[in-house]
Amino acid sequence: MTRLLGTDRATLVRRRYAAGSRDANGRWVRGAATDTSFVGNVQDLPGKTRNVEPSGTRRSERREVYVGQRDFLRPEDDRSSPKIEADEVLIDGLVYKVQSVETDSGLITHTTAIVELLREGPR
């Protein structure tokens, strides 16, 4: 919890997609994206989730994002109709996809999300 309340808070961007649909040829068309700024805290996950770049810098493929709001980030839900796409979080110019979300309603309500770097880059 100290991570959420610490000094490492940053303004991040959540990208949420509206419901998609099929076009005249039956191909899936993604819904429109809406970007929303929010204040959160980003932490690298330990261990094998980090990769070393050619420049020698270390970058985490998966990270934890702490948000002081309940149910602010959502993972994919392909059981819903229409399918709910996972939110994306823009961190340092890179796009991460929300993999899982856990909400804690203890002393201070907050959400912890695990996000993973998307290979295709910004959209």
Q: Parse the chain into domains and list their residue ranges.
A: 2-18+32-117
**How far is the C-alpha of 116 from the C-alpha of 108, rounded, in Å?**
25
- Annotate 69-92 with DSSP letters as a single string: STT-S---BTTSSSPBPPPEEEET
**How far is the C-alpha of 3 from the C-alpha of 11, rounded, in Å?**
15
| pLDDT score recorded for residue 17 | 93
* CATH number listed for the domain at residues 2-18+32-117: 2.40.10
The model carries a pTM of 0.76
pLDDT in tens, 4-24: 445 578 899 999 999 888 899
pLDDT in tens, 71-104: 899 999 878 777 788 999 999 889 999 999 988 7
3-class secondary-structure state, position 38: strand
56: Cβ contacts below 8 Å, ≥ 6 apart: none
| pLDDT score recorded for residue 69 | 84
- Average pLDDT across the chain, whole number: 81
